[in-house]
A = this chain, B = another copy of it.
Amino acid sequence: MQNWRCTVCGYIHVGDAPPDFCPECGAPAEFFEKVSEAPEEALPGPGRPVAAAPVTRPERKFAPLGPEEKRLAEPSMFKISYGLYIVGSQAGGRLNAQCANTVVQITSDPLRVAIGINKQNFTHGLISASGVFSVGVLGQDGHDLVHHFGYQSGHQVDKMQGMEYRLGRTGSPLVAGCLAYFEGEIIPEKCIDAGTHTLFVADVVSGEVLRDEEPMTYAYYRATRTRR
């Protein structure tokens, strides 16, 4: 038995060979390197950090950013990379889907994700009521879907009308044309009220890849979008 470290995310796999894919970040086996057979914690070195996992903090040290500080800091946020996704849900017989970019995996065991949704969006209410949602991963051919689901609101129109979709295990719509889908069931006590948005934390309850192509990133969309 060896320890194998994922050279991208640091995940340690224990076994005779590295896993086919890193369960944390998806890196393929070639990204694993053999590390010491001793558990990391037992190795000599700079020592354990001054406090372990529990997250505590006696008091806030930093005041909220003033307008000028915020103006300076804000452009750094635009350097964060995102994909583009269609997030759907169903509640009370109503279906809707919207575009979203804040979609991340947060653990691999269990498969757990977080998605950020603006509270004013129609889909937010559906997710809150039903506790479930679907995520479709857009491919690089997904411009029409961004246009349809991102440019109008379920508050005003029935975006599902005339669109091709099927219902997933949770009853959420899986919009045709995405590369991959997964569905999540939220964990209410772990969801975060983030002011304008809710960060829904959810266990994955289904998933599949239909086309093994490159996902649409937000940067790709921005670079290739044409005005309609």
Bound Cα distance from A128 to B78, whole angstroms: 26
- Which residues of chain B come closer than 8 Å to A73, judged between CB atoms? 111, 182, 204, 206-208
Query: If A104-B116, A195-B112 touch, does A129 touch B49 (CB 8 Å cutoff)?
Result: yes
- Which residues of chain B come closer than 8 Å to A221, judged between CB atoms? 8
- Which residues of chain B come closer than 8 Å to A30, judged between CB atoms? 227
Bound Cα distance from A9 to B91, whole angstroms: 22
Chain copies in complex: 2
Query: If A51-B128, A72-B208, A128-B55 touch, does A151 touch B80 (CB 8 Å cutoff)?
Result: no
Q: Does A166 lie at the interface of the complex (its beta carbon under 8 Å from any beta carbon of B)?
A: no
Q: Does A186 lie at the interface of the complex (its beta carbon under 8 Å from any beta carbon of B)?
A: yes
Chain A interface residue bracket vs B: 35 or more
Q: Is the interface of A mostly helix, strand, loop or mixed?
A: mixed
- Which residues of chain B come closer than 8 Å to A179, judged between CB atoms? 79
Query: Are B76 and A209 in contact, CB atoms less than 8 angstroms apart?
Result: yes
Bound Cα distance from A180 to B7, whole angstroms: 23
Bound Cα distance from A121 to B201, whole angstroms: 22
Query: Are A203 and B64 in contact, CB atoms less than 8 angstroms apart?
Result: yes
Bound Cα distance from A155 to B189, whole angstroms: 32
Q: Does A45 lie at the interface of the complex (its beta carbon under 8 Å from any beta carbon of B)?
A: yes
Query: Are B91 and A158 in contact, CB atoms less than 8 angstroms apart?
Result: no
Bound Cα distance from A188 to B51, whole angstroms: 14
Bound Cα distance from A205 to B76, whole angstroms: 12
- Which residues of chain B come closer than 8 Å to A5, judged between CB atoms? 151, 153
> How far in angstroms is the closest Cβ of chain B from A2?
16
Partner among B70, B107, B132 whose Cβ is within 8 Å of the Cβ of A194 = B107
Contact residues of A with B, CB < 8 Å? 5, 7-12, 21, 23-28, 30-31, 33, 36, 40-41, 43-57, 60-62, 64-65, 69-70, 72-84, 91-92, 94, 96, 98-114, 116, 118-122, 124-126, 128-129, 131-132, 137, 146-147, 150-151, 153-158, 169-170, 179-182, 185-186, 188, 190-201, 203-209, 214-215, 217-219, 221-222, 225, 227
What 5 A-B pairs are tightest by C-beta distance, nearest first? A49-B125, A73-B207, A81-B83, A50-B92, A76-B207
